[in-house]
Amino acid sequence: MSEMAWIGRWLVLGAWVVGCRGAEAGGPGLAPPAEVGAPPPSATPSASASAAPPAAPTSALPDAEMVRLFRELSEPDRYFFSDNYISNETSYLQVTRELRARASKGGAYVGVGPEQNFTYIALTEPKLAFIVDIRRANALEQLLYKAIFEEATSRAHFVALLIGRRYQAAGDPGDDATVASVLAHAERAPAEQKVFDETHERLVGKIRARGFELSAEDVKTLGATHRAFFERGLELSFELHDKNGRKYPRLRELLASKDADGAESGFLGSAAAFRGVQRLQRENRVIPLVGDFAGAHTLEKLGEELRKRGLPVSVFYTSNVEQYLMEPDKWKAWTANVDALPSNEKSLFLRCYLDQGRRHPLQMQGHRTATVLASFDHFKWRNRSRGYGSFYQLATDGLDADAGH
């Protein structure tokens, strides 16, 4: 099935379910995005009703605790129609300025997908981060990234390990280097099968040393994932299983992206950003989970764990997952899972809208995606009072036309 066919199917179902849910709630009919304002004070959930008590961990998690969370909070593997080795969202830095201004530091970060999470973690500085994806392959890729973060001595070393090249410490461009210089140094050595094999075996050993039990299928998946980076290097891009002929951004382009102010704000954009994520990884505070956003286990149990630790969600990066949840049972389950997560008046959703023929009002020139922030409280109020008729309506709800620019 083509990408357009998949999206069309889900959006049609979404329009039906949300209209039905609005009628069941006794709220007003659906309104176009232009009619949606901020929730009145009386309709906004109070911080005391949703926030967790203020007591959070500041030190490393033991290996056994990280492994327990991975094992007990995860759901069974599920199929998805693409190999998300890397992101396809060129706009992921669009909200850099807003995130820095609005996101609460020291809470819990929840996200989905591969490497873009590291940038959002660097920008929001959480105490704990959970990367939740429906595919076990993504959780395994995150464990591979963890091992790479643990071994890397610099940004260039990190990239060299990722693409399976021999790292040359002599001439490392250093902490003040641009991303282009970092990537160029990581690519200096030729691709050698022996170096890749040794590197991969060592990294898998690090994963096992933390206590993760890897099945034969897990080992096979880790090998295929790392080999994709080795064989295609920084030219690797997102791909659908059912090819549609569309060209997606290469890893090189994504890592070297700049924000609206022209700054390299990604996790490899500065040594400080890289070291911040690396510290959390080494302290077992970036935890991958296998889970469906509309599943009956992962997000509910994650909410329980966060409450125990006194951690509200500061940012939940959902990408464009919600467009696949807009059918009756899934949407109901998704919103119940949102309610199960501890939050407060500063908790934010971070969404990515993928242009399927209708441009987002904040979509920047030259981008097919638009990345936006939205309030947890506003989402809960709007969902209960009016509902959402489409993913487009959700992704444009309550936005300031100047935000992100």
Tell me the C-alpha to C-alpha distance, in Å, between residue 348 and each of 1, 101, 276, 376.
33, 12, 21, 5
Structure tokens at 138: 């993504």
Distances (CA, A) of 104 to 35, 98, 172, 314, 371: 29, 11, 34, 6, 18
Dihedral over alpha carbons 304, 85, 261, 185 (to 10 degrees): 120
User: Is residue 36 within 8 Å of residue 397, measured between CB atoms?
Assistant: yes
Question: Helix, strand or coil for residue 118?
Answer: helix
The DSSP secondary-structure symbol of 369 reads E
Q: Give Cβ neighbours of residue 177 (< 8 Å, ≥ 6 apart).
A: 155, 156, 185
Confirm whether 22 is domain-assigned.
Answer: yes
DSSP lists the bridge partners of residue 111 as: 131
Q: Rounded distance, CA 318 to CA 139, Å?
A: 16
Residues 333 and 348: their CA atoms lie apart, in Å, by: 19
Q: Is residue 374 part of a domain?
A: yes
Domain assignment of residue 392, yes or no: yes
Q: What are the structure tokens assigned to 79, written together?
A: 């199929």
Torsion 22-27-33-39 (CA) sign = negative
Task: Kindly state whether residue 177 falls inside one of the protein's structural domains.
Answer: no
Q: How far apart are CA 65 and CA 80, in angstroms?
A: 29
Cα dihedral value 101, 104, 109, 110, nearest 10:
-70
Task: Specify if 105 maps to a domain.
Answer: yes
Neighbours of 28 (CB within 10 A): 11
Contact 372, 399 (CB under 8 A): yes
338 within some domain? yes
Q: What string of H, E and C letters represents the secondary structure of 295-340?
A: CCCHHHHHHHHHHHCCCCEEEEEEECHHHHCCCHHHHHHHHHHHHH
Token couple for 9: 């199917």
Whole-angstrom distance, CA of residue 332 vs CA of residue 95: 28
For residue 197, the model assigns a pLDDT of 98
Whether residue 296 lies inside any domain: the answer is: yes
How many domains, the chain? 1
DSSP 121-168: HHHH--SEEEEEES-HHHHHHHHHHHHHHHH-SSHHHHHHHHTTPPP-
Give yes or no for a contact between 343 and 376, defined as CB atoms under 8 angstroms apart: yes
Query: How far separated are the first and last CA of the chain, in Å rounded?
Result: 35
Amino acid found at 212: F
Q: d(Cα 263, Cα 259) in Å, to the nearest integer?
A: 5
Burial of 179 (0-12, 13-18, 19+ CB in 10 A): buried
Instruction: Look up the domain containing 349 and give its range.
Output: 3-139+239-396
**Residue 236: phi, psi to the nearest 5?**
-60, 140
Residue the block writes with tokens 């990239």: 159
| Residue 399 confidence (pLDDT) | 66
Mind listing the pLDDT tens digit of every residue in the chain (405 residues)? 444 344 344 433 343 333 333 333 333 222 333 333 334 333 333 343 344 444 444 689 999 999 999 999 999 987 765 567 999 999 999 999 999 999 999 999 999 999 999 999 999 999 999 999 999 999 999 999 999 999 999 999 999 999 999 999 999 999 999 999 999 999 999 999 999 999 999 999 999 999 999 999 999 999 999 999 999 999 999 675 566 666 779 999 999 999 999 999 999 999 999 999 999 999 999 999 999 999 999 999 999 999 999 999 999 999 999 999 999 899 999 999 999 999 999 999 999 999 888 999 999 998 999 999 999 999 999 999 999 999 999 999 976 433 443
Tokens of 355: 């242009």
Has residue 333 been placed in a domain? yes
